[in-house]
Structure 1
């Protein structure tokens, strides 16, 4: 497909640096599809922290950039020195590319409008060899490894530059959207896919489960835990509207830390002084991570998926003396599946199935929709950065 398209770029750290560029429509290569985007949603956690200068843009993250690189670039000042600046590896964890300007958007859904060729050969029908002989690819499993066709509705990850009219994605990164799931709701399959392994490897049947944070990740985690047969769901958040939303969708107990004397005590009271069997930390905020050892029962399990970008002092002795389990395959497991694994189709198939069957009703979580303009980019991210009541905002493309 020839022509140009509109694409959102963040030119630097901080608000007021958004730009919509007119760029060429990308061309899909072998094993890729060109997708016309219908909806792209803001990740209130990671996209907002990219604007703040704490989380690497997602394409740079997948190329090896870490939050400590961002801290060194934008937050390590003589007035506020990073306490680990001298400890970070100087050779083995260097990152030499500038993160900005960067194309933004990694939660999207759209329609395939073009399929890339296969190593210079058409994936279907006949092709001609160098000596002029005809060959047919229809029975060739290697040549016919494409499960998609023009017109398929898809979502997936890693998708970079999803705040745009078109995007190219590898076949391994996308999954078909089932009937009855809208483009808008399908954009939220990415957070569901990210937390699914984190929840299922942490929570056990009849657990008392504490969910720290009821954003998109926390809401999905809560719903999956409930579907697994959790005995009790305790949702913790700073915003009453989100807590009421969680209560309406199955949380048994809601706690606002600003409205109790001590949030750890409130959680112990809610669990009949047993502590949580399993805790799901989905905010990545130091204040939440610091709570983990104090609210988990002896021998309890912790799943931490929140994209932690700041340093966290934590009482590690609790993990040792109380036998707490933080399974390393859980910490960031969803992100590994989404952004580094060679094939994440299965994770998205599961997430979309959970959404389609109403186990995780992510469509209920959407509360803002915008047409993509520079003004609306600024407005939407102002909400994401400063309005705690906002659940999920997205850009709609016609």
Structure 2
């Protein structure tokens, strides 16, 4: 491990979001400093995710000005207090998960980091870290909200509970997507009880959907059916492990799924958050099937689900926002280290920090297959 970390600069570049309809703009701001049980990392890469795009479009409320970016990899450059038991060292490569659990609430004590109310209240509602304050300020001292660890910057403060070390066999830049795309996929597979005996449909194969396909293939599920509207994404999905691909603009997706697996699939995953894809994922289930809802919807979107078939056929619908950080982030890293997910294949495009707005425009227009990353 290289402990020769350069001295911290006084300022850094960050992509500032001023609110709905406003573009991301690079700005020099003071480098944030970690407090107790926090770590400062030099960001190597930050993933380009639809969840950030929802904020940019005003589909999910969040206080501006803010620095977005919740999927990061980087190098530890400073440790806050109380970290003697963390195992982290200066110079260590790490990945950060977007769910940053407090570790002490009732849900965290039960091992349900993914339900931590402190994280959701402080970070997702108010744009703070877990102690109720933001680490980010402008040069004039005015506050900047943080979305998770605010990875669209050169440095980021991350609670230690949201970090995992990276072994040398995991590529550092591509490892950023472990913290959301693959982390979310792993959590979805876990909540769906996915096994090697299951047939699978993945509806929408962007960054998260592509990761679900790899995780499902790694677990031996078969057949794996990928549904999308984009041929390039579907071909990428086939390369990642999908056995059958369906373009729903040219054929009846439900009929295609049932033709491939008579009676329906054992587990379906919905990774976009639109009513029509949600309804398709439920309709594709076999008796006793499990539908895992992963995609975040715009605003108060709802889906129409027939009640009686769900009841009579013993089906279940479960939501999955992410995995359990402290327990499952290390498992996600181990999966990547063992070759269970091919990060280099999943990461398809790279943008510099000054092109962050361009990256999200490409995502909004459906021009990114797999996952893109921004490299400060």
With the length of structure 2 as denominator, give the TM-score of the two structures: 0.80
2-structure distance, mates of 1:31, 1:293: 42
Matched residue of 2:56: which SS?
Answer: helix
1:334 matches 2:322: yes
Contact kept in structure 1, 2:211 and 2:346, CA below 8 Å: no
5+ residue gaps, structure 1, are 58-98, 124-143, 338-343
Q: 2:367, 2:12 → 1: CA distance?
A: 33
Which of 30, 38, 41 is the matching residue for 2:44? 38
2:304 match = 314
After superposition, give the CA deviation of every residue in 1:204-244 in whole Å (9 maximum; x if it has no partner).
Answer: 33211111111121111111112222121011111101111
In the alignment, which of 160, 168, 187 is matched to residue 176 of structure 2?
Answer: 187
1:300 is displaced (CA, Å) by 1.1
Which residue of the partner structure matches residue 94 of structure 2?
A: 154
Which residue does the alignment assign to 1:366?
347
User: Over aligned residues, Cα RMSD in angstroms?
Assistant: 1.8
Alignment partner for residue 335 of structure 2, among 354, 368, 380? 354
Q: Which residue of 1 aligns with 2:10?
A: 3
Could you list the per-position Cα deviations for residues 135-172 of structure 1 after superposition, in whole angstroms to 9, with x for gaps in the alignment? xxxxxxxxx32311100001112442101011111111
Q: Is residue 100 of structure 1 aligned with residue 40 of structure 2?
A: no
The answer to whether the 8 A contact 1:216-1:392 is kept is: yes
CA distance in 1, matches of 2:272, 2:336: 22
Q: Which residue of 1 aligns with 2:218?
A: 227
Match of 1:305 among 271, 285, 294: 294
Q: 1:313 to 1:371 in 2, by over 3 A?
A: closer
Name which of 368, 371, 376 aligns with 1:392.
371
Deviation track 1:361-389 (CA, whole Å, cap 9, x = no partner) reads: 1221222212211xx12211210111345
Q: Residue 267 of structure 1 aligns with which residue? A: 257
Does structure 2 retain, via aligned residues, the 8 Å contact 1:383–1:390? no
Give, in whole Å, the separation in 2 of the partners of 1:333 and 1:4: 34
Tell me the SS of whatever aligns to 1:259. coil
Question: Contact between 1:108 and 1:156, CA under 8 Å: does it hold in 2?
Answer: yes
Normalising by structure 1, we get a TM-score of 0.75
2:359 to 380, 389, 395: 380
CA distance in 1, matches of 2:185, 2:224: 16
State the 1:333 CA deviation: 4.5
Once residues 388 and 38 of structure 1 are traced to their aligned partners in structure 2, the CA distance between those partners, rounded to angstroms, is 23
The within-5 A match list for 1:104-119 is 104-118=68-82
Tell me which stretches of 4 or more aligned residues in structure 1 moved more than 6 Å: none
How many Å separate the matches in 2 of 1:201 and 1:315? Answer: 20
Figure out how many residues of one structure are paired with residues of the other and give that number: 316
State the match for 1:62 in structure 2.
none
Distance 1:113 1:292, change over 3 A: same
Deviation at 1:2, TM superposition (A): 5.4
Mapping for residues 227-306 of structure 1, pairs under 5 Å: 227-260=218-251, 262-271=252-261, 273-306=262-295
Structure 2 residue runs of 5 or longer lacking an equivalent are 1-7, 99-147
Query: Corresponding residue for 2:27?
Result: 21
Contact kept, 8 Å, 2:236 with 2:370, in 1: the verdict is no
SS of residue in 1 equivalent to 2:173: helix
CA distance in 2, matches of 1:38, 1:299: 44
Deviations 1:288-339 (A, max 9, x none): 1011332111221111111123412312313223221124xxx12416x3xx
